[in-house]
Amino acid sequence: MAGSGTAARLLPYLQVAPLALILGVFLVVPILTLVVVSFFDYDSVRIIPDFVWTNYAEVLLSAVTWRTYAKTVWFAALVWAITLFIGFWVAYFLAFHVRSRTVQTALFLLCTIPFWTSNIIRMISWVPFLGRNGLLNQALLGLGAIDRPLEFLLFSDFAVVLAFVHLYTLFMVVPIFNTMMRIDRRLVEAAVDAGANAWQVLTNVIIPLSKPGIAIGSIFVVVLVMGDFITVRLMSGGQSASVGLMIYNQISLLQYPAAAANAVVLLAIVLLMVGAILRVVDIRREL
């Protein structure tokens, strides 16, 4: 029976093989390649296999990199805070105040509207709305609220954050809503029974129990914002930098090793951020 014993031992490995293969080919190999290339040298047309630290030196020792990272983190933090606030209340409303399943589904679909068009079209559509002669400025001028168009509405950090929030709030709503739907409604009653008012129910029961959803949503938003290049470019009118944009520029100029080094640094920073979130909140219950 030795044969069947070996087969039994091999079986679990066979069962994980397909996933391991997919992850290996599409995740591990590319990342390893990235790391390897980040040590290569390059000139204006070629990458030269080598082992040099210059790419990292250029990334880490440049004030521009630090400023760009700081700006990107600042975007991520701001967008995170706003999407969390909006996303939490939308999820709360959907989970605790909308009783009908149909209405819930309909409202959920409404939240996905920003995803019905392509990224570029959606962002270009902001121009006639927020622009100098856009709808918003026209309306405000018409109302007499302002006497000259507000310039900061478009091609500014405000516009970048607005577009991010518009896009990514859904990524906050979905996991938080999901967690909230799993909260036993009797817990709310138990809290009320113990004398909690609406605010106390929220802070002592709903928020603590929504933490895994908040963490997952936060990971989504932070990762998406940290890696973005197109939103920042289009909404700031190219006037703001982001790490993604920096990498994109390097790739455009065939500076693959520099881009790879930058990507490795970005990856490390994003992993640290995700790690920090996971340290604070245990999300295993949700997975």
Partner 1 sequence: MPHDVELVNVTKRYGSGAVAVKGISLRIPAATYCCLLGPSGCGKTSTLRMIAGHESVSSGSVLLAGREVTDLPPAKRGTAMMFQSYALFPHLDCLDNVAFSLKMRGVPKAERRARALHFLKLVDLERYASRLPAQLSGGQQQRVALARALITEPRVLLLDEPLSALDPFLRGRMREELKRLQRELGISFVHVTHSQEEAMALSDLVVVMEGGEIVQAASPRDVFERPATAFVARFIGGHNVLPAPAGDGTVAVRADRCRLRPPDAETYGPHLPGTVSAVEYQGPVVRVALATAAGEAVAMLPDDVFHAAPVAPGDAAVLAWSEDDMHALAPSPSDAAAATLTDPLAAA
Partner 2 sequence: MTDDHADRPARPASATRRRLLGAAAGAALGSGAVTGFPTLWAQNIRNVTLRQFGTGVSALNPIAEQVKKDLGFTLSMTALDTDAVTQRAVTQPRSYDIADIEYFVCKKVWPAGVLQPLEVKKIALYDKIVPIFTTGKLTPESPIAQGTAPHTVSFVESKGATAFAPHPTEWMTLIPTIYNADTLGIRPDLVGRPIRNWKDLVDPAFKGKASILNIPGIGIMDAAMVMESLGTLRYGDKGNMTRAEIDRTIAFLIEQKRAGQFRAFWKTFDESVNLMASGEVVIQSMWSPAVTAVKTRGIPCVYQPLAEGYRAWGGGLGVAKHLSGLQLDAAYEYINWYLSGWCGAYLNRQGYYSAVLDTAKRHMSENEWGYWMEGKPAAADIMGPDGKLLDKAGSVRDGGSFTDRMGKVACWNSVMNEDRYMVQKWNEFIAA
Residues that bind partner 2 (CB under 8 A): 44-46, 58, 62-64, 67-68, 71, 120, 124, 127-128, 131-134, 151, 154-155, 233-234, 236-241, 245-246, 249-255
CA–CA separation, 269 and 70 (whole Å): 12
In the complex with partner 2, which residue's Cβ is closer, 35 or 251? 251
Which residues 6+ apart lie within 8 Å of 82 measured at CB? 161, 165
The neighbouring-strand residues paired with 42 are: 47
Question: Which H or E run contains 33?
Answer: helix 29-37
Instruction: Pick what 127 binds: partner 2, partner 1, none; C-beta below 5 to 8 Å, kind-dependent.
Output: partner 2
- Residue 250 partner contact from partner 2, partner 1, none using kind-dependent CB cut-offs of 5 to 8 Å: partner 2
Closer CB to partner 1, residue 42 or residue 88?
88
Between strands 41-42 and 47-48, the pairing is: antiparallel
Q: Which is nearer to partner 1, 154 or 191 (CB)?
A: 191
State the minimum distance, in angstroms, from the CB of residue 54 to partner 2: 10
Q: CA 271 to CA 265: how far, in whole Å?
A: 10
Sign of CA dihedral 217, 220, 226, 231: negative
78 binds, among partner 1, partner 2, none (CB under 5 to 8 A by kind): none
Q: Between 218 and 242, name the residue whose CB sits nearer to partner 2.
A: 242
